[in-house]
Structure 1
Amino acid sequence: MNGQLDYKTAIKDTLPTVFGYIGIGIAFGVVGHAAGLHLFVIFMLSAFVYAGSAQFITVSMLTVSSPVLSIILSTFLVNSRMILMSTTLANYLKENSLAQNLMLGTLLTDESFALGMNKLNFSKGKLSFEWLNTANIISYLTWIGATMIGALMGNFINDPKQFGLDFAIVAMFIGLLYLQVIADRTLPLSLQFSVILFTLILIVLGLIFIPSNLLIIVVTLLGCGFGVMMKHVFY
């Protein structure tokens, strides 16, 4: 990465994350096909829901004929973390118009958020609509394309796990976390590792005691609170 915030730089910065979208997108397409969803339905889910984990949950709930309201509420809970992410990025996008920020928030993903936070380490704490919007659009189009490919491949692949496709998104986030840690010179490594370890412990314990659709938002809030406390008390 560098400090440039134009669309050409955004393309270069976003390309490494594309492989994660392709892997998990194909996996979703295969799962959707296996669940009996029509190709058009899979396309509509990817184009309008546009949320990997929520889409998997939607498919699983549709297969057991869950009420529509339950599906909507589950999707909201799983994606409620985006409220926190959007709020965080909003501090760096105050010069944009309301329409521009609405567009950025609509297509924001975990990956583009992580890219944006990492970019701040190289751009002197600045972000631009051009850069983030380009990253969002690349992610959006790649996700839709990958899910369509997966849906078509569903005729030949019964179990995406045998190809390791289910681990693609995990591997991508590990890479993004590594880049964030090595690039951010403003925070001590000991503080960053403390927050990472605390988050891992919360996830392990949370999987036992907290419903999975609430786990992400709970861990996010507690992890952020722990990080702020550690920074002000010990650093």
Structure 2
Amino acid sequence: MNDVLDFRNGIKDVVPTLFGYIGVGIAFGIVAKTSHLSVWMVLFMSLIVYAGSAQFIIASMLLASSPISAIVISTILINARMSLMSMAVAPYLKDESFAKNIGVGTLLTDETFALSMNKMNYTDNKLDSHWFNSANLVAYLVWALATVAGNLIGGLFPDPAVLGLDFAVVAMFIGLLYLQIIADRTRPLARHFQVFLFVALAMFILMRFLPGNSAILVATILGCIFGMVVNHND
């Protein structure tokens, strides 16, 4: 990764994260196949919904003949965290047009958000819509193709749980977190671990009282507040 914010480098920077998209996308395609979703429905869902965890939930809810209203509400709640990520990115694109901001926000994912935070360690806290759009677009297309591929080969795996492909996204986030910590020279290493441990503890406690996605949202907000307080006190 370097300090250049252009279309070409957006493609180059996003490549390492694509393995996570491919692994989880194939896993979803296989699960969708066992849920009796056609390849066209999988493609449509990946292009319109474009949310890994939400698509897994939608597939299971469709199999259970859940009402559309319940599916829509569940999808909104699962993806509520994206509003926080969009708000975090928005200040760095304030000089871009409204249309460009909409384009970035529409295809923003957990992975490209983490990638952008890491990129700013090399660009003096700057972002650009050309870089962002290229990274988002490549990730978007790879995800759609991976889910279709998974659906096409889904008949070969009657029990998708044995593959363990969903761990690909966990491994990818561990890698992104590591790169973020070692690249950020503006804060001491101990500060990163303070925030990391606080969020982990908050998540552990909240999971006992809240659904998983709600716990993630609340833990993220608390982590942001904790980080601001720690920085302010220095």
Report the AA paired with residue 154 of structure 2: G
CA distance in 2, matches of 1:181, 1:53: 26
In structure 1, stretches of 5+ residues that fail to align are none
CA distance in 2, matches of 1:56, 1:177: 24
TM-score by length of 2: 0.97
Q: Which residue of 1 aligns with 2:69?
A: 69
Secondary structure class of the residue paired with 1:30: helix
| Cα RMSD after superposing both structures | 1.1
Question: Cα offset for 1:176?
Answer: 0.4
Whichever residue aligns with residue 127 of structure 1, its letter is L
Distance in 2 (CA, whole Å) between partners of 1:160 and 1:199 is 31
Is the partner of 1:185 in helix, strand or coil?
coil
Match of 2:219 in 1: 219
2:31 counterpart residue number: 31
1:96 match: secondary structure = coil
Identity %: 53
- Mapped pair 1:144 → 2:137: no
Letter matched to residue 7 of structure 1: F
1:48-81 deviations in whole A, cap 9, x for unaligned? Answer: 0000011111112222222211111111111111
User: How far is 1:96 from its partner?
Assistant: 1.0
Alpha-carbon distance in structure 1 between the residues aligned to 2:53 and 2:207? 16
Match runs of 1:71-220 below 5 Å: 71-220=71-220
Tell me the secondary structure at the aligned position of residue 208 of structure 1: coil
Q: What is the CA distance between 1:116 and its match in structure 2? A: 0.6
Contact 1:46–1:143 (CA under 8 A) maintained in structure 2: yes
Q: Note the alpha carbon deviations across 1:131-159, whole angstroms, 9 max, x for none.
A: 00000001000000000000011010123
Alignment-derived partner of residue 230 in structure 2: 230
How far the C-alpha of 1:215 sits from its partner, in A, is: 1.8
Q: CA deviation at 1:164?
A: 2.8
Q: Secondary structure at the match of 1:158?
A: coil
Q: Is the 8 A contact 1:74 1:213 kept in 2?
A: no
Runs of 4+ with deviation above 6 angstroms: none
Deviation at 1:208, TM superposition (A): 1.8
**TM-score (norm. length: structure 1):** 0.96
Stretch of structure 1 that moved more, 11-20 or 57-66 = 57-66
More deviation in 184-193 or 14-23? 184-193
Aligned counterparts of 1:230 and 1:60: Cα–Cα separation in 2: 42
Distance 1:196 1:164 in 2: 26
Q: Which amino acid aligns with 1:226?
A: F
For 1:20, the equivalent position in structure 2 comes to 20
- 1:23 & 1:161 partners in 2: Cα distance? 13
Gaps of 5+ in 2: none
When structure 1 is superposed on structure 2, of 31-40 and 138-147 the one drifting more is: 31-40
Number of aligned residue pairs: give it: 234
Give the match's secondary structure for 1:165: coil
Question: Displacement, 1:172?
Answer: 0.3
Displacement of 1:230 in angstroms is 1.7
Counterpart secondary structure, 2:92: coil
Q: Which amino acid in 2 is paired with 1:77?
A: L
Letter in 2 for 1:229: V
Give the stretch that moved more between structures: 162-171 or 109-118: 162-171
Matched-pair contact (CA < 8 Å) for 1:160–1:166: no
Report the Cα distance in structure 2 between the residues aligned to 1:215 and 1:120, rounded to whole angstroms: 27
Instruction: Answer with 22-31 or 52-61: which moved more.
Output: 52-61
Structure 2 distance, partners of 1:73, 1:188, is 41
